[in-house]
Structure 1
Amino acid sequence: MKPNYRRCISCRKVGLKNEFWRIVRVFPSGQVQLDEGMGRSAYICPHMGCLSAAQKKNKLGRSLHASVPETLYQTLWQRLSQSNLPNQIEH
């Protein structure tokens, strides 16, 4: 089976699907959520620089064609601070 590749909406890096966080605009409700659901998806690296740029420039909202709630960004920042990846700050 071929591996699934995705691209980060912030830094444009291509990698395996499991290297990224998935944000979904669920069909048909239009609700934006993390990790699961069917609908339009966007992928972002679990790095401080990528998340910061995506939030400042509304890259998630433009990619999903929907408004992204502030609580979702707060959840992503919490997830980032809880992960102990050695390369999360440097990208």
Structure 2
Amino acid sequence: MKPNYRRCVSCGQVALKDSFWRIVRVYPSRKLQLDYGMGRSAYLCPCASCLKEARQKNRLGRALRVPIPDYIYQALSERLTPTK
């Protein structure tokens, strides 16, 4: 895999890392953040099907090795709906 490419934890698609959402387990606090921070990261396609599958099958939790709170999924689902 090339350095600027990442893989979606849900569907397995490989693309440039800028085209994914980044979920970070920050070191050493183990808190979760979106898009920035240093620590263990997981990448997710910005589409409803990948978000739904990642939540149902706990793919983010397994990739980050931490339980994912509902507010993370809520923030990601809000990004799906465009604001007017």
The TM-score normalised by the length of structure 2 is 0.93
SS of alignment partner, residue 23 of structure 1: strand
Match of 1:78 in 2: 78
Q: How far did residue 81 of structure 1 move? A: 1.1
Partners of 1:60 and 1:3 in 2: CA distance: 21
Partners of 2:51 and 2:74 in 1: CA distance: 11
Match of 1:26 in 2: 26
Give the fraction of aligned pairs with identical amino acids, expressed as a percent.
59
Moved more, 54-63 or 2-11: 2-11
Matches within 5 A, 1:49-64: 49-64=49-64
SS of alignment partner, residue 41 of structure 2: strand
Instruction: Output the amino acid matched with 1:19.
Output: S
RMSD over equivalenced CA pairs, Å: 1.4
Aligned residues: 82
Q: How far did residue 82 of structure 1 move? A: 1.9
Instruction: Output the amino acid matched with 1:67.
Output: P
Match of 1:67 in 2: 67
Over 2 Å off, 4+ runs: none
Q: How far did residue 3 of structure 1 move? A: 6.0
